[in-house]
């Protein structure tokens, strides 16, 4: 019988991000981020929701930490708002903003919860948009590194697990490549693919310079990770030919070849770069060395995957469409593909040839159409079904000896889900956005039991 027992040192956590929960957008010296400006433009988010209040976590963080303690997690991933701590993006540090994170960390540490801080989860200062159009400019990488220095100097006594940028492809490609898709993230419309690739190249540089800045500023040895969401190719069957097809598709997939490859190997994937041709970004000498920093861990945000099988035709593999009626949770893209966790871990280890690199699932979770029963409960058995299967798949990776060290469930509570506003609920705590009352869903109790038993129950 498989008990899905994890090793004793396996990390159990949950994750959130600053703009999605903090609110207090104009308080204590914080200035607007690009998300404040974007979400307040008419028609950009569902119901016109913004993160101005969100979960009001800025004022309620102490009781939110109590929920973490009740859940039993020993690890918590949150993000720091650049525009709260350096409101103009560069220059003057807002110590009152820093105090918020000092207070949060103190409460976490008192409860035996280790903070894992992401330095950038999409909410860059609007001032830098005005100054040089954010990620369009190489200067953004330099300003990001200075922000890292200022933050790590001040918070490095409390935080020793740092994550640089969250999901480079999302805030660059979804923000700037809006020629075909409707605008769903802040950015400025650019007309050439090359310019879009230039934004993600600048973000990679920010990651590299950020790593160097964190190491230099940290008062104690620290762990540094990048958080990425590579496209996960899952072999349709686990035949040797379909596995080889999935591995090949993983390396040449556009997003992987241009982001996780340079970050982990110091080179854009060769086949991919050729396919870009004149759309490739300008890469200055020394850039790839800067981007390719030693990492202590890699964070993977895994929600779904694509099925791939071997094909007789070039290039030797093909993507298999989801058939009609294929299970999905409450997002158009949220196909239920539990094996994606296992293959994510295995592809990084085997295809990218980094078997020694510790891996963390930094996000996994789903939105569901949660409803309160008459007794005021949220019986989200659909979320439990999803999470259990993904955790079992994580367990398989661990059992086969892959270096998967921990799992952060997205998310601690329902929050501001970007262009979907407060309309999509990913939390294991239900949030009533009118009263800010948090109510544990059935999945909260279920996850607490997994943690208590150190296994997928
Ligand atoms: C995460 O990204 C984010 O890190 C987190 O902030 C967010 O709350 C969470 O997901 C839930 O959405 O609309 O067809 O262009 C998840 C990865 C990548 C999934 C972009 C959605 C857009 C698909 N996301 N993808 S589409």
pLDDT tens for each residue of 326-368: 999 999 999 999 999 999 999 999 999 999 999 999 999 999 9
Cβ burial of 106 (10 Å; 0-12, 13-18, 19+) is: middle
Ligand 1 pocket residue status of 362, Cβ below 6 Å = no
From first to last of its 457 residues, what are the pLDDT tens digits of the chain? 689 999 999 999 999 999 999 999 999 999 999 999 999 999 999 999 999 999 999 999 999 999 999 999 999 999 999 999 999 999 999 999 999 999 999 999 999 999 999 999 999 999 999 999 999 999 999 999 999 999 999 999 999 999 999 999 999 999 999 776 778 899 988 989 999 999 999 999 999 999 999 999 999 999 999 999 999 999 999 999 999 999 999 999 989 999 999 999 999 999 999 999 999 999 999 999 999 999 999 999 999 999 999 999 999 999 999 999 999 999 999 999 999 999 999 999 999 999 999 999 999 999 999 999 999 999 999 999 999 999 999 999 999 999 999 999 999 999 999 999 999 999 999 999 999 999 999 999 999 999 999 999 9
Task: State in Å: Cα 74 to ligand 1 middle.
Answer: 25
Q: Which of the following CATH numbers is that of domain 11-453: 3.40.50.150, 3.20.20.80, 3.30.2290.10, 3.40.50.1000? A: 3.20.20.80
Ligand 1 site-directed mutation target among 303, 337, 427, most atoms within 8 Å of CB: 303
In angstroms, the Cα distances linking 4 to 13, 167, 394, 395 are 17, 29, 9, 6
Active-site annotation holder among 22, 129, 339, 363? 363
Give the pLDDT confidence score for residue 179 in this predicted structure: 73
Task: State in Å: Cα 14 to ligand 1 middle.
Answer: 17
Residue nearest to atom 17 of ligand 1 (CA): 229
Ligand 1 pocket residue status of 367, Cβ below 6 Å = no
Task: State in Å: Cα 301 to ligand 1 middle.
Answer: 9
Ligand 1 pocket residue status of 120, Cβ below 6 Å = no
Give the pLDDT confidence score for residue 151 in this predicted structure: 99
Give the Cα separation of 427 and 410 in Å (integer).
Answer: 7
Ligand 1 site-directed mutation target among 168, 181, 333, 367, most atoms within 8 Å of CB: 333
Residue nearest to atom 23 of ligand 1 (CA): 333
Task: State in Å: Cα 285 to ligand 1 middle.
Answer: 33
Residue nearest to atom 13 of ligand 1 (CA): 333
Atom of ligand 1 at shortest distance to CA of 417?
8
Give the pLDDT confidence score for residue 182 in this predicted structure: 78
Residue nearest to atom 12 of ligand 1 (CA): 417
Q: Is residue 363 annotated as a catalytic residue, yes or no?
A: yes
Give the pLDDT confidence score for residue 180 in this predicted structure: 64
Ligand 1 pocket residue status of 303, Cβ below 6 Å = yes
Give the pLDDT confidence score for residue 402 in this predicted structure: 98
Ligand 1 site-directed mutation target among 17, 33, 55, 170, most atoms within 8 Å of CB: 170
Prediction pTM value: 0.98
Active-site annotation holder among 129, 167, 339, 417? 167
Ligand 1 pocket residue status of 242, Cβ below 6 Å = no
């Amino acid at each position: 019988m498989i008990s899905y027992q994890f090793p004793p040192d396996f990390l159990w956590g949950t994750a959130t991000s600053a703009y999605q929960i903090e609110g207090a957008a104009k308080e204590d010296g914080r200035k607007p981020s690009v998300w404040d400006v974007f979400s307040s433009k008419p028609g950009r988010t569902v119901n016109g929701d913004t993160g101005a209040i969100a979960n009001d976590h800025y004022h309620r963080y102490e009781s939110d930490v109590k929920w973490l303690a009740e859940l039993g997690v020993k690890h918590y991933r949150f993000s720091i708002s650049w525009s709260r701590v350096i409101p103009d993006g560069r220059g003057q540090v807002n110590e009152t903003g820093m105090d918020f994170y000092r207070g949060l960390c103190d409460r976490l540490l008192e409860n035996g919860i280790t903070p894992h801080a992401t330095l950038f989860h999409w909410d860059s200062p609007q001032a830098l948009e005005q100054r040089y159009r954010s990620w369009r400019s190489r200067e953004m990488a330099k300003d990001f590194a200075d922000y890292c220095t200022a933050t790590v100097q001040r918070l490095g006594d409390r935080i020793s697990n740092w994550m640089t940028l969250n999901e480079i492809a999302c805030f660059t490609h979804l923000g700037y490549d809006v020629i075909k898709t409707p605008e769903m993230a802040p950015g400025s419309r650019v007309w050439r693919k090359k310019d879009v690739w230039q934004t993600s190249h600048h973000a990679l540089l920010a990651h590299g310079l950020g790593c160097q800045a964190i190491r230099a500023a940290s008062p104690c040895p620290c762990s540094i990770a990048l958080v990425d969401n590579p496209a996960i190719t899952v072999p349709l069957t686990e035949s040797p030919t379909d596995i080889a097809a999935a591995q090949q598709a993983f390396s040449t997939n556009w997003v992987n070849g241009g982001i996780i490859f340079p970050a982990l190997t110091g080179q854009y994937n060769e086949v991919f770069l050729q396919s870009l041709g004149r759309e490739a970004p300008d890469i200055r000498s020394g850039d790839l060395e800067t981007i390719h920093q030693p990492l202590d861990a890699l964070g993977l945000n895994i929600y779904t995957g694509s099925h791939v099988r071997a094909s007789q035709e070039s290039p030797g593999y093909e993507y298999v469409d989801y058939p009609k009626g294929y299970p999905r949770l409450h997002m158009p893209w949220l196909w239920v593909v539990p094996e994606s966790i296992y293959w994510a871990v295995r592809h990084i280890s085997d295809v990218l040839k980094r078997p020694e690199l510790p891996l963390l699932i930094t996000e996994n979770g789903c939105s569901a159409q949660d409803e309160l029963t008459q007794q005021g409960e949220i019986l989200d058995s659909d979320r439990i079904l999803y999470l259990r299967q993904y955790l079992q798949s994580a367990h398989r990776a661990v059992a086969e000896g892959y270096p998967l060290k921990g799992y952060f469930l997205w998310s601690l509570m329902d929050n501001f889900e970007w262009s979907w506003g407060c309309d999509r609920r990913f939390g294991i705590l239900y949030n009533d956005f009118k009263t800010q009352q948090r109510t544990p869903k059935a999945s909260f109790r279920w996850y607490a039991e997994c943690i208590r038993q150190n296994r997928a129950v």
